Every structure is written in C-alpha cells, then in structure tokens.
Structure 1
C-alpha cells in the first residue's frame, strides 16, 4: 500500500483552526460559567496530584503484602510438614505396640513400661491406654505433667463423650483414627485441649480393643512447630469452629489504623494438620512492628497540603458563586415584582408626602382608563375623581396623608376616563426607604362593583329563604353533633320551645334517633358513634317518627337528617309537623271501622239465629225429658238413688252444653279490647268450627278439616281470628247453596298447616268450598269496601277479614279451583307469622285496627 507523507503545512493550518474554534466556544460562555471553568482547573490539578500519590503508596503496599503472604504461606506449609511427620512417627510407634499386644507378646506390665518410655521421650504425648472391646481400660500410663485429662483407672469404662465417637470409628474401619480436638469441661485446667489417636487391635480377625494415645494440642504446637517459625509469626492451632486451642493470635486493628490505605493487617495463612484432617488447623499471622510511620507521615502531609489547596479554591469559587447568585437574584426579584405588578388586578398608586402621584401600575391605569403619563405628577383634584364628590375625595386624601385611614380600608367611587362610575375599596400603607424614613404612601385599589352586587343578591336571597322558613307550618331546627348550640330555629319552633336547644334534643330523643355523641369520662368504653347509620351520615335516608308531646298536647311527625353546616361541622336538622288533626281523623275512622265490624258480627249472628235456636232446642228438650221422667218415676216410687244420680248427671251435662253454646255466642258478639296472647291453633280452630258448623248444617253442607300436628302457638287476638274463620266458612256455605250443588258435592274443607314464606315461619289457614268460584270481575273487587255479590250483603265482611289478617302481619288471598277447564270451587287462604315483627310506627296502626275489630 503506498505511503503518503503528511505535509507540515497541513498541521500548521489545523492548529490555528482548532484554536479559533476554542476561542469562539469560550467567548460564547457566560462570565459566570467562565469563572466556574477557571476555578475548576486548579481543583482538578490538585485532585489528580493527590490521586497519583495515593496510587503510588497503594502500589508499593500491595507489592509488600504480596511478598509477605508468599513468605507466610511457605513457612506454614513447612511447619505443617514437620508436624505431620512427627504425628506419623508417633502413630507408627503406637501401631508397633498394638501389634505386640495383638500377638500377646507383651502383658499389661510390659505395656506400661513401653508406654512410659514413649511418653517420656515425646513430651506432646500425655497418656497411652490399652482399652478392650468392651471399652474398659486394661492398662494406662498418664504423664505427670498432663493437666488436660484425669487419671485412668484400670477397669474403668470409657463413655462415648470421652472418645467423641472415635472408638466406634476405629472399630468399624480397623484403621488408626484421630479424634476431633477435645476440650476438658473443667476450664480451670491449663492446656485443656487434647487430641486422641486410637489404633485398633486385631485378635485373629476379631476386634479386641484399641491402643489410645492422647496428645496435648499445646505440646504439638510447642514441640511440633519449628522455633524459627514461631519466632517470625503468631502461630496457633484452631479447630473448625475458629476456637483457638493452643497459641495466640494478635488482636484485630482498631481506630485510625483502619483509615490508612496501606496499613492492612499482617499476612496470614492457615492449613489443615495432616493426618488429623480439617478438625485441626494450623494458622499463622505475621507480626508488624511498625505501621510505616515515615510513609504515613509523608502521605498525610501531602494530603493536608492538597486539602488546604482545595479548601482555598472552593472558598474562592464559593465567594464568586455567591456574588453571581446575588446579582441574578436581584435581577430575578426585580423582574418578578414588575411582572407581578403588571399581572395583578389590584391597582397600585404611590403618593409623596405632598400628595403628588409618583407611581401607578398598569392595573390602576386599566381601572381608570387613564395612561401613566396622565396620572404621574398630578395633584388633587385627580382626574379620576367624580365631580359630584370632590369634597368627599379631598377629605379622604387629607386623612390618607395624615395616616388616619382605617386598617380595613375604605370605600370610594371612582370615575373612568369615559365617565363611568364604579365602586372601589382602597388600602393605604406607608412607604419606607432603606434608611427607615417615610417617603410617601402606597395605595392599593380593588374594584368591588361585582362583589358588592353579589353580596346584595345574597342578602336578598337570605331574606327570601328566611321568610319562607318562618312562614312554614312546621318547626325547623338545626343543631351540631356533640354540642348544645342551636344553629337555626324558625318562628314556629321558637313559639313552641323558645330559643333553647332542649326542644330539639327532646324531639330527637322521643323519635329514637341518635343526636349527640356522649361526652365525659363516664362513657370512655362506649363507641361514640354507636347508633349512627353505617353509610355516610349526610347521605343517609331521612328518619321519620310520630310522637306525642305532652307539653304541647300535640301529635308531631318528626323527620331528621344529617347535613354539613356552612362552617363544616356535622349537624342534624329536625322538622316537626303538627299532625294532631290527622290523628283525630284516624281515630274517627277507626271508630267507624269498629262499628262496621260490630255490625258484621251482629248480622252474622242474626243470620245464624234460627240455627242457634235449633242447636239450643236439643239440650233444652233433653233437659225437659230428663226432668219429666224423673218426676214421674219419683211419684211412682220407681227410681233408685243410682238411677236418679245418672239422670241428674245427664241433665247437668245437657245444661252445660247449652251454656257453652251461649257463652261462645256471647264472646263472639261481645265488644272487647284487643288482647293478643299466645293461642293454641287447634283450640282456636275448634272453637270457630263449632260456631260455624251450625250455619253449615242449615245449608246442608258437610265440614271436614285437617290440622297439622305440633303447630306452634301464635300471638293473636283469638276472637278476631275466629271471626275471620267463621266468615270464610259461612261465605263458603252460602256459595255452595247458591251453586245448587247435589248433596254429595256440598262440602267445605278447612286445612291448617305450617309453611315457610320469604324465609319466615307461618301458619296457613285454607278454606276450600265446592261452589261456583269467583268471576274475574268479582276477583278484582273482592276486598273492596261496600262491594257484595249478595242482594242483602253489606260488602264489609271480606274487607274486615283482610284488615284483621293484615293487622296480624299476614295476608289474605283467594283463588279458584279447577277440574280441567271447569271451575270446581274456590279457596280462601290466609297466613299468620309465628313471630311477627312489630315496629313502633306500625304497632299503633295495628292496635287501632285491632280495636276496631270488636263489636259494640
């Protein structure tokens, strides 16, 4: 590839071009940025110099640490080899003794002699013991200087804890096994750590025990590690849990030594002791007699000089930056104030002490329609003063110059350039110069034409609202929760209860609506909001109740609602309406209803009069016959006392039967107060059937019934329910008579069974007849008052029956029975709940209906 030489003229041309670019870039920078760049140059220089010094010291220290680490690694491995050879040599000697014991070449005495010689020759050995296969000591020799173990007694059995499982391992492997380092429980003993070597004994292939040699870990360190290594390093034997068993290590560095980047800890190295394994480690750490004071002092001197230089540069740069920031803040503040004055809707006008205008802002010019040139320099009278109020405006100006304006400002009328007049409010404050002297007055002016109009409209609206509330025929009051303050009360409330909040509270209490949260310490354990609606209070539905106020002798309908008052407090509004005339009308209606029910019962009994007379004729005839027979037989002396007693008992029974018929009729017709008691359904139905059966026999109608077993008792007025059943059975008999059914088809069935309706247990009463049923027209108007399909009927029987059932929270219905497409009869059904839920408001209505059910 050809080489093209670079022309020197090209380099010379490129250099001025780059310099020109640099100059243009520098000139485009702002003075503050140029100062910042100039200040950053020396700062970067000092930082780079300090970084170079730190890097040089760090590199030298890393090299030194690497050399020290290599040296300590080499020496520790050498010490580990020396200690390994010493342990293997002792292991071979113990194995030789074990072979002599296994071959029965030595006895216990000879064993003790050889063990004593071996222990005395090797100071690290503390004891040698001969242990049989049952873990009993047959012979043992313990060095007199051994403090880590106690005496070994012949015949003593070693525990598992004393061998740490090494005995079992030697028995299973049939090889020499080293134990983990053992530490005596008595910490007062010196050199308490020990190490066991157990050599298994073999007796013709059977395990015969072990030869156990016990080493002192401290002796292994002192006699197994070369002295030249212990002189250079802090050497220690540790276990796998970092517990120092022998020797010592230098404490970790603290304090300022950790801050030196080169003053790291001395080199250290550790390696497992073979053949013991990882349970025993040899660890060595180099001594450091000096922390490099010369190098450290030089480093700190350079660092201090560099820090001082950086501090001086930063201080200079900070001073320059503050000066620039003060200039920028001054410009920003000036621009901000001018922008604020130009954008605000409040007019600003400055006057000197002589009353001459010295300054106006754009808002003031916009309000008056005059320019700044037309206003600045003017004296009174000003062009924006109305001609008709010059005297008033001059008086205002004089007060302003004398400082006698009210703090809340004052209202004036201002004329625009086009002649329009508007209302304004002016506020005055003195102008103070930097030396604390007053130089004039600053006036702010606000156009209040629209707010004044709105205020007047609100005042008129409030007057209309108050007039409406004062004219209501209901008492309206508002009170906050948790307070005894009355926020509002209209005229009718004040006329009833005065201006006290007690009337409001009493209305709420009688209506059963929670009013105020309890206060004081007596109810600390009670929920303050108990009884309030679970949804949002202001969104809860209005609570209604009808109460009687004895103080006013009036019935009031009370409606309450929670609302947020204008000041944000949660309040309760109560509206009480006088319903006394309505209650009187309801009472009169109840009395009319009572008379109608009484007339219905009298009519029913009138229709049943002939049948009742026939029923009474039977017992009366029987009584007459019994009496005549007894008189005849007594006159003829043909009757004994026993026969006379039997005849008298029969006569009394017939008289009792006649009396019962009359009592039932009298109880049915007699007017009584409503009395809801627990009634047995079977007894109630039986009484009704006994009264109605008279009418059914008159129409030649057969009555059958089915009453379910174990029916629950009902809380009812027995007479009213009996009246309903009698009317339904009587109507069924009349319907059958009007349909001209044959005798075999003239029957009425009464059924009483328990049921579940809408999840509530009820007792259902059904009356089924075999008449001609009900037409659609009759079905629509069946329960309508004064409607009847009978020529002599009054049309109040079924209406009263339905009222009685509904007063017991039940329901009365009627349906036709079909045999194919042909109407085969009609069924009237009503049910009474087993446990009626009676609310206070409905209870009063039901009581009135029940009272109206009794005849006069």
Structure 2
C-alpha cells in the first residue's frame, strides 16, 4: 500500500501543475477578455445559487405531491376492495338461492320471503326478480318498498325481446354463457343509476330463466366508502363512457374544486361491465409561484444579477463603440462578396457611385472602369443606347415599374446577356433621397427555360386540341372544370355537366365537393395512391348525343396542388354498332349451321320419315280392303287404327324435332337438365348414326345439378360433335370394332374453372393432324371437300358465350393415334346446387354404356 505522504506529494505536484497552466492561459488573454471573465464569474455564482434554491423547492414539492397521489391510490383501492367484497358475497348468495330453486321447486311466496331476507342483508340491492325463459316476471321483490306490478307493460328493469336494453343484453349473455352476468349501468324508473346481476336458472339441462338482482350504484358506493376516506378524498363511480354515475361528493354539498385534482381509477371487479371506481384528491402544497420565500430569494438574486450586468455593460460600452465601425465594415464587405445579384448605385445626376463584385463579375468590367462613369455606360450595347437612355431617364424620374425592367447587357468581351433590373431609392439618415440603387440578375437561362416551357405548352395544347377524344380535368373539391379540349367543348360545351355525365355517379367526389371550407376534406384520403392508381375503362352512353364513349379516368394533382380528376372519353359508337352487327351475324350463323347440319342429314331424315309413312299407307290399304270384304272385326279395326296413329305420331315427332332444331329464335337462357339435352341430341343423331353404321355409347351421371343455358344451342354443339365423329369414322372406313363413339356427361371441379359439367365426345377414328388442331376454330377452315368451315367455330362461340371452354386432343396408343376426343365444359351456378350433389367421378370410372344402333 502506497504511503500517505507519497499520495499527498503527488496531489500537490498535480495541483501545482494545474495552477501553472491556468496562470499561463490567463496571461494569454487580452485585458478586455480578462475583465469579461471577472464579471461573468460572480454572475455564474449567483445563477447557480438561484438554481440550487429552485431545485430544492421543486424537490420538496414533488415529494409532497407523490405522497398525496399515493394516499388517493390507497383510498381508491380500499373502496374498490370493499365494493368487490360486497358484490362477491351478494353474488354467492344469489348463486345459492338459484341452486336451491333448481334443486327443489318453490312458489312465488317462498321466493319473495327469501328475496326479502337477502334484501335486508344487502341494502344495495333494490330489486330481486325471478324471470322465466320467456322473459316474463314470475315473482319479484322490491327492496325499496315500492310495489312491483308483475304484468307491467313497459319496465326498463326487465329484459324484453327485441328491445335494445342493458337487461336484455345481460339476459342473452347469461342464457348463452350459462353463467352469472353483470349488466352495464342504466337508469331505473326511479331515475337512479343501477346495474343488474343475472344468474341463469336451469331445469335439468334446459335454460329456465334467470334470477335477477338490481344494485343501486349510489347505495353500494355509500356503504363501501368509509367516513375517513370521504373526509380526505372524493370517490366516484364512472361508466364505460367516463360519465359519473355516483359520487361521495354529493353528500358533502357543492364546493369549489381547488386546483387540478389527483385522479386514480380502478375497475369495479368482478362486474366487468365497464364501471370504474375513481378517487380524486387535491394538492395541498403551495406552488413555487405562491411561495414568499422563493420570491424573496429570486428578488435578491435578480438584484445582484442586475448590479453585475450594469457594471459589465458599462465596461463593455466603450469597446463596443470602438468595434462598431470595424464590424459594420466587415459585414458590408462580406455581404457584397457573397451576393450573386449585381448592385449598382447612381446619384441624382445618373453617375455611378457604387458597384459590388457581383456586378463586376457579370459585366467583366472592373470597379475602376465603372465608378464615376456617366451615360452612356460601358456595359450598354451600342445598338441599344437610345433605348437604355430612355430607361435611365425613366429610372431617374422614379417611374420604373415595380416588376423590374428586362434589358440587354454587354460584357467587356462584347458578348451580351439578358438581365432584369429592379430600382429603389437611396435614403440617407436624414430621410433625404441621395440617389438610386439598382439590382441586376442574369435571366438568360431562366428566359431560355421559359421559352422552352412556352413552346412545350403550345405543342401539348395543340396535340390535345387535335385529339378526336374528349379530354377534361375537374377539380375534386370545387367541382370546377379546369381544362377541356376542342372535342369536349364541341360535344358538351364549356361547363362541367359533360364531365359529370361521363364520370357517372361517384359518391366520393360529391362528398368532397360538399365539404365546408373550414374542414380538411382531404384528411385521410391517400392522395399519392389516388394519383398513382388508374381506373378500369367503362363504356357510357350519352342519350343527348346518341353516342357511346369509352371513358378512362385517373386522379392527378393540378398545377396549384389541388386534387383533380382527368377523363378521356373516346367515341366508340361505330365500334358498338359493328359489335351489334357481328352479334346479329353470329345469330344468323347459328341458324345457318343448323340448316347445314340438317341439309347433310336430309337423306337420312327422308329415310326415317319414309318408314312411318309407308306403315301408315299399308295399314290404311289393308283396313280398306278388309272393310270392303266385311272381313274385319271391330277389335282388329281398332288395333289397326291405333297402330296407324302411333306411326303418324312418330312422323310428327320427327318433323317437330327437326323444326324446333332449325327454327330461328333468340338465345334463351333457362334452367335445363343435362340428361334431357343429351336425349334430344341423341335422338336427332341416331338418324345419321344408323346411316353410317356407327354405334353411340352414352353415359350421363346421376343427379347432375341443373344448368342455366340455352338448351337448343348446347344440343347443336353436341349434335355437331357427334356428327363430325361419325363422319370421320365412316370416311376413314374404320373396321366394325372401331366404329364406336362414346358420349359422357360427368361433373368436374378444377382450380381454374371451379364446379363444371363436362361433356366429352370420344371416337375411335383416325384422329386429326397437328396443323388441323391448331386451325380448326378458324372461320371458314374445313377439312371436308364440301364443308363451310363454320361448325367448330360456331361451337366454340356457343360454349364461350355460356362461360365454358372447349378443347380437342388426339388419343394415342404409344405413338399411334387411336381416336380423337372433344371436351367442352359448362359452369354450374352454385345458387342452384342441390344438397345431394354427388362428388365428381374420376375419369377412369366405368361408364354405364347404352348403345344407340
């Protein structure tokens, strides 16, 4: 351990070294700076003393405030615990009473006796009622002594179905949760704030009603707050909206609130209904502003500081006066050297008396070249001397415009630049004018940019005026038309009605336009997102112009910062008419396709009709011959007539089916069953299939959901695909074992399409080439020598108009093509699905084959 004398010697050496450094620093200071430090030392000491006194006062005051806050918190928690204990005890007694009522049935008289006993023990309970599951009061006891009518029409203290009241909400929660529930505070018929405890009653496991106890908040607070707490602080109960429900202050009369209260809140457990116990106290300590001792210390400190400052100010005054001229000179020189604006001063005779370095740098002339010069000045262009003389006379007469004068200035090397000059009078200390001060800025670049902007604006305006589309910009807040091009003015005039007509009903714009000027109507609006986001185009019909417009809109910030909406409306009337014409042509193509299909099947149809007609003729001839010979009995005659009638009906059905198939009509969407569509198509296709000796196997899944479609059009698609498959098999002269077509209808569900019904036609023909697969939907493309090329394209249009899809693919066995499959799907409307809709069958499920020969 180091000896004490060694430590003392080391500290003495350090102190001596620090003292020498301080003396050396002090001797390097000027006398004026030494005087300043000597004056600042006592001032700093006085300020530190004042700061220490203020800190001590503040510390003591904060300690007293903390004690007051702790006292309020402690009293509030005492009251909270008292109220909590009373509520818990009351709740336990109510639960025991409910348990007794559940275990053994009691009548209304017994209930009222037990409720009266409970009410005498618990003065805070104003009413105890037995409520049935139908919200009817079976029995009740009013602790306050007022009679309770058991069948009162309106009682706000009882739950009522369909009425938004606190007892009804508590009743529903107790019924659903099957446990005691406290309601929120409300006002009973006696205008007193109350809340309820509702304990559910059960008959076995069935909800049988509730046992309701109504608590008076004021009585509960009065019983729970000790007198010693009331004398110190104010205790109040607040609801969930911070409104005072009851307070201990009411018993002490109205009194003035002293300063800001100290507040502590504690939730009223176990109610969990938003009630809060609030304790309020008042600060008893005297603030710094009211403390006399504090002000005495401040006054003495201020007097000492004032005397020190007066002495310091007297000592500095001479030094300040001596340095004022040097400081002013340095400031002026620094300002002149830092300015980029050229300054030039003229006397009353027009002679240059002053120029700053910026003016010399602009013109290239030195200060010696300009000071004392008379007009014409060296920086005047020779060709503009007369004009500059006129401007100088105007300047000397004080008639220069406030916005400045645009002039040409010549540099010393002969080059010129554009400048703007501003003139103001020079006034001396006596208020007399001694000349004129001119400031000059180089505007060559600014003028070039302005000319470019002007030319760009002119080009932009020319382009917009030349557009065939109507362009308009409308202020969102003021509904003011900010811009409209020539097409807009030609169609809608110069007001904002055309813009509103094209924009359509827009509640957001109308809301912003109706806002008061004193309200920030754009608060909360994502302005940047509005200006960056576009909008979907939409088509608008203007009846007054008989035109259709394609309208595109977007939000932007106008040049003055306002939020605006821009619309670009393009006339698409010709396109709409072309689309309508194309729709009519497509409709005609559908009818034409059906006529072509029936034309190709004409011979088969004639053969099909020939059979019933020949049978009718034979039956008629046979009956005539036997009647003439009296060789027929009545029963035989009736049998022959019945056979003749059946053959006639068969021929009529064939003709009716062909007529309904080729009849031209508007597409009619209706609920249709897939099985009926397939049956109709197969019956028509059987004629062609028998002629070509092709068998058709059909499978239709059971319990398919109905389709919202045009059954004739879907029947046309199925018939066309089956007929094409039969024709491909027949033309390729396939052997009997490959002269088969499979028609399947099954439900499917895919991530892309969702729930659909799938129609597939699979043949065992030669398939299709790859180039045919890629072009088979093109208009007028056909692989048949006499084909029109509209069948598959029309089928695709029909399927896609029903929001379905169609596709084709070859079937392979290794690398050999063994057939072709056409598949199209139709979406299922989920609103029409039946509860017994079966799951989709896998593609490998066995088919229920029925052969149409």
- Tell me what 2:494 maps to: 499
1:47–1:363 CA distance, 2 compared to 1 (3 A): closer
The answer to whether the 8 Å contact 2:464/2:485 transfers is yes
Match of 1:781 among 768, 775, 778: 775
Q: Aligned partners of 2:708 and 2:562: how far apart in 1?
A: 47
Name structure 1 gaps, 5 residues minimum.
Answer: 1-14, 52-184, 189-252, 261-296, 838-856
Deviation string 1:402-431 (CA, Å, 9 cap, x unpaired) is 222111112222222233332221111122
| 430-439 or 698-707: bigger deviation | 430-439
1:46–1:349 CA distance, 2 compared to 1 (3 A): closer
Match of 2:560 among 553, 556, 567: 567
Deviation string 1:165-216 (CA, Å, 9 cap, x unpaired) is xxxxxxxxxxxxxxxxxxxx9x99xxxxxxxxxxxxxxxxxxxxxxxxxxxx
- Tell me what 2:683 maps to: 690
In the TM superposition, residue 444 of structure 1 has moved relative to its aligned partner by: 0.7
Q: Aligned partners of 1:425 and 1:465: how far apart in 2?
A: 29
Could you say what secondary structure the match of 2:495 adopts?
coil
The answer to whether the 8 Å contact 1:678/1:714 transfers is yes
1:801–1:301 CA distance, 2 compared to 1 (3 A): closer
Could you say what secondary structure the match of 2:509 adopts?
coil
- Tell me what 1:85 maps to: none
In the TM superposition, residue 697 of structure 1 has moved relative to its aligned partner by: 1.0
Could you say what secondary structure the match of 1:487 adopts?
strand
Match of 1:796 among 790, 808, 823: 790
1:482–1:322 CA distance, 2 compared to 1 (3 A): farther
Could you say what secondary structure the match of 1:518 adopts?
helix
Q: Aligned partners of 2:645 and 2:405: how far apart in 1?
A: 110
Could you say what secondary structure the match of 2:538 adopts?
strand
1:322–1:519 CA distance, 2 compared to 1 (3 A): farther
In the TM superposition, residue 605 of structure 1 has moved relative to its aligned partner by: 0.9
Deviation string 1:655-714 (CA, Å, 9 cap, x unpaired) is 333222112111211221222222221111111111111111111111111111222222
- Tell me what 1:6 maps to: none
Deviation string 1:54-83 (CA, Å, 9 cap, x unpaired) is xxxxxxxxxxxxxxxxxxxxxxxxxxxxxx
Match of 1:767 among 761, 777, 782: 761
**2:668 matched to 1:669?**
no
Deviation string 1:747-799 (CA, Å, 9 cap, x unpaired) is 11111111123152111110011111122232232223322222222222112
The answer to whether the 8 Å contact 1:753/1:765 transfers is yes
The answer to whether the 8 Å contact 2:515/2:521 transfers is no
1:19–1:586 CA distance, 2 compared to 1 (3 A): closer
**2:816 matched to 1:829?**
no
**2:699 matched to 1:706?**
yes
Pairwise mapping of residues 395-544 of structure 1 onto structure 2 (< 5 A)?
395-509=390-504, 516-519=509-512, 536-541=529-534, 543-544=536-537
1:30–1:618 CA distance, 2 compared to 1 (3 A): farther
Q: Aligned partners of 2:512 and 2:49: how far apart in 1?
A: 75
The answer to whether the 8 Å contact 2:604/2:691 transfers is yes
- Tell me what 1:620 maps to: 613
Q: Aligned partners of 1:405 and 1:30: how far apart in 2?
A: 53
In the TM superposition, residue 828 of structure 1 has moved relative to its aligned partner by: 0.5
1:706–1:327 CA distance, 2 compared to 1 (3 A): farther
In the TM superposition, residue 821 of structure 1 has moved relative to its aligned partner by: 3.8
- Tell me what 1:29 maps to: 29
Q: Aligned partners of 1:48 and 1:715: how far apart in 2?
A: 93
1:308–1:536 CA distance, 2 compared to 1 (3 A): closer
Q: Aligned partners of 1:428 and 1:351: how far apart in 2?
A: 10
Q: Aligned partners of 1:813 and 1:473: how far apart in 2?
A: 42
1:819–1:449 CA distance, 2 compared to 1 (3 A): closer
The answer to whether the 8 Å contact 1:384/1:417 transfers is yes
The answer to whether the 8 Å contact 1:533/1:540 transfers is no
State TM-score, norm by structure 2: 0.60
Q: Aligned partners of 1:808 and 1:330: how far apart in 2?
A: 96
Q: Aligned partners of 2:515 and 2:21: how far apart in 1?
A: 87
Q: Aligned partners of 1:776 and 1:374: how far apart in 2?
A: 93
The answer to whether the 8 Å contact 1:620/1:655 transfers is yes
The answer to whether the 8 Å contact 1:481/1:515 transfers is no
Q: Aligned partners of 1:303 and 1:727: how far apart in 2?
A: 109
Could you say what secondary structure the match of 1:712 adopts?
coil
Q: Aligned partners of 1:752 and 1:745: how far apart in 2?
A: 21
The answer to whether the 8 Å contact 2:534/2:553 transfers is no
The answer to whether the 8 Å contact 2:479/2:513 transfers is no
1:827–1:394 CA distance, 2 compared to 1 (3 A): same
- Tell me what 2:311 maps to: 316
The answer to whether the 8 Å contact 2:695/2:741 transfers is yes
The answer to whether the 8 Å contact 1:728/1:828 transfers is yes
Could you say what secondary structure the match of 1:812 adopts?
strand
In the TM superposition, residue 598 of structure 1 has moved relative to its aligned partner by: 3.5
Could you say what secondary structure the match of 1:772 adopts?
coil
- Tell me what 1:717 maps to: 710
Q: Aligned partners of 1:550 and 1:23: how far apart in 2?
A: 100
The answer to whether the 8 Å contact 2:474/2:481 transfers is yes
1:18–1:556 CA distance, 2 compared to 1 (3 A): closer
1:307–1:729 CA distance, 2 compared to 1 (3 A): closer
Could you say what secondary structure the match of 1:695 adopts?
helix
- Tell me what 1:38 maps to: 38
Q: Aligned partners of 2:479 and 2:338: how far apart in 1?
A: 49
Q: Aligned partners of 1:403 and 1:389: how far apart in 2?
A: 21
Structure with larger Rg: 1
- Tell me what 1:352 maps to: 347
Match of 1:369 among 364, 367, 372: 364
Name structure 2 gaps, 5 residues minimum.
Answer: 1-14, 52-223, 228-283, 832-853
Q: Aligned partners of 1:522 and 1:772: how far apart in 2?
A: 74
In the TM superposition, residue 730 of structure 1 has moved relative to its aligned partner by: 0.3
Pairwise mapping of residues 636-655 of structure 1 onto structure 2 (< 5 A)?
648-655=641-648
Could you say what secondary structure the match of 1:470 adopts?
helix
1:563–1:832 CA distance, 2 compared to 1 (3 A): same
In the TM superposition, residue 329 of structure 1 has moved relative to its aligned partner by: 8.7
Q: Aligned partners of 2:50 and 2:361: how far apart in 1?
A: 66
Pairwise mapping of residues 123-142 of structure 1 onto structure 2 (< 5 A)?
none
The answer to whether the 8 Å contact 1:426/1:444 transfers is yes
- Tell me what 1:751 maps to: 744
Match of 2:810 among 792, 807, 816: 816
RMSD of Structure 2 on Structure 1 (CA): 4.4
